[in-house]
Chain A
Amino acid sequence: MDTVISVASLLCLLLGSFLCLSGGVGILRFPDFYTRMHAVGVTDTLASAMILMGLMLQGAEANVVIKLIIILLMTLFINPTASYALAKAAMYSGLKPLLNMQKSKRG
């Protein structure tokens, strides 16, 4: 049973790190704001959830697990909201997405 839990924790952490890294590559390499937003917004929440779950499975005390759950819930609430607000604010301020036609000009 212990090995199953530690393997599960390891897998969660591995997946979380991979998602983090892919989000990082996305924010560096993508051509315009909205695609970067996409990369970060999609990976950030799941990566946090995976890493926090991996930590929960490390066999900590009850109050530590409860605090981790609080952080997880906050991340689930906060991250998508912040991404939504950011994208909407950018759109509202007149920032245009990079379309295919403009690609040769800017990218």
Chain B
Amino acid sequence: MELFVNVILLSFLLAIALAIVRMKDLFAVIMLAGIYGLLSASFFVVVDAVDVAITEAAVGAGVFTLLMLVATVMAGRYEQGARHKPLLALAVVFITGSLLIYGSLDMPAFGYGPAPDHQHVDSHYINESMSEVGVPNIVTAVLASYRGFDTLGELLVIFTAGVAVMALLSTLYDSHSNLGTGPENKWLYEQQMPIRLVVKILIPFIMLFAFYIQFHGDYGPGGGFQAGLILASAIILYAMLFGIRTAKQVISPRFYQCLSAFGILLYGGVGVVALLNGEHFLDYSVLFTDPLAGQHVGIVLVELGIGCTVFSTMILIFLNFYERKNNQLDGCQ
């Protein structure tokens, strides 16, 4: 059954990828990319990688679609014709692909226990994480505790991306754009009464569910990244339907900027507190009298930091793109 579903899902993926390559309308490409995200997430579910699946669903089908749509609106809807013959690139890709496939012939079968890559630390994580970290979800234990430093690096990458987007595109404090009557999208919130009603009802539940994902990450699939993304999608949905100005009045961009930095600080601060208590950086055992409770407190705090930064960075990127588009339209008219 699993093999059957996998084969079908992967052939769907192949069909979608080929269709994406052939398509010129970038809107259609984004729609197909959304299907691609949903498909690969289903594939991850079938191979039992639940945390990856939930991330792929939130990123690939949700935030990726939103950000790509805003970018496409700025860049234009149709793909430009190619200026050069892609034969050399095709040859390079073909050779690299053949080498990769040739290399994969020597790989051990999927899930084969004695394979070399399962000998290193995997068994330690699987056997000892319950007694060392005390969190039922091993993925969270690895992500936030064993590999806490890597995760800090990833979070810094996201934060840097947010800062870069703001440095390049920011018009949030441009007084002109705040006062000007930008050509906001009227019909969605004047004529689409039922959507506004349903969204008004749904948004609290989306947020509640995001918090569930955030704080249930120790026990089931989920964690800070996914929760931040879902919460950000809820705010973006609100901004799209009720106008960006209303959304900025509800929570000001300044708050997102502070929250984005606060998340990183919280993460690093937990590490420094551990350092001051005479342990390694990001070793949470000393945060509490009982080492296991200390680990748990540390993981909850770190996940909260991740959630804050991811949430506010995503919204900042979206707001900056969106404002820039509105200003462009202002200039056109």
Contacts and interface: CB of A to CB of B under 8 A. Distances in A.
A88 B201 contact: no
Interface in A64-107: 74, 77-78, 81, 84-85, 88, 92
A74 B201 CA distance: 11
Nearest to A81: B198
A88 B191 contact: yes
Contacts of A77: 198, 201-202
Contacts of A84: 194-195
Contacts of B191: 88, 92
State the main secondary structure of chain A at its contact with B: helix
B192 interface: yes
A87 to B, nearest CB: 11
Interface residues of A, number: 8
Interface string B189-203: 001101100100110
Contacts of B192: 85, 88
B187 interface: yes
Contacts of A74: 202, 205
Interface in B195-220: 195, 198, 201-202, 205
Interface in B144-189: 187
Contacts of A81: 194-195, 198
A92 B201 CA distance: 25
A84 B191 CA distance: 12
A84 B188 CA distance: 12
Nearest to A77: B198
A94 to B, nearest CB: 13
B187 A92 contact: yes
Contacts of B202: 74, 77-78
Interface string B303-319: 00000000000000000
A45 B194 CA distance: 17
Nearest to B197: A81
Nearest to A82: B195
Nearest to A93: B187
A78 B198 contact: yes
B18 to A, nearest CB: 19
A43 to B, nearest CB: 19
B147 to A, nearest CB: 30
B42 to A, nearest CB: 16
B146 to A, nearest CB: 29
A78 B195 CA distance: 9
Contacts of A85: 192, 194-195
A85 to B, nearest CB: 5
A85 B195 CA distance: 7
Contacts of B201: 77
Interface in B116-137: none
19 contacts: A74-B202, A74-B205, A77-B198, A77-B201, A77-B202, A78-B198, A78-B202, A81-B194, A81-B195, A81-B198, A84-B194, A84-B195, A85-B192, A85-B194, A85-B195, A88-B191, A88-B192, A92-B187, A92-B191
The 5 closest A-B pairs by CB, nearest first: A81-B198, A85-B195, A77-B198, A84-B194, A81-B195
Interface of A: 74, 77-78, 81, 84-85, 88, 92
Given A77-B201, A85-B194, 5 more contacts: A74-B202, A77-B202, A85-B195, A88-B192, A92-B187
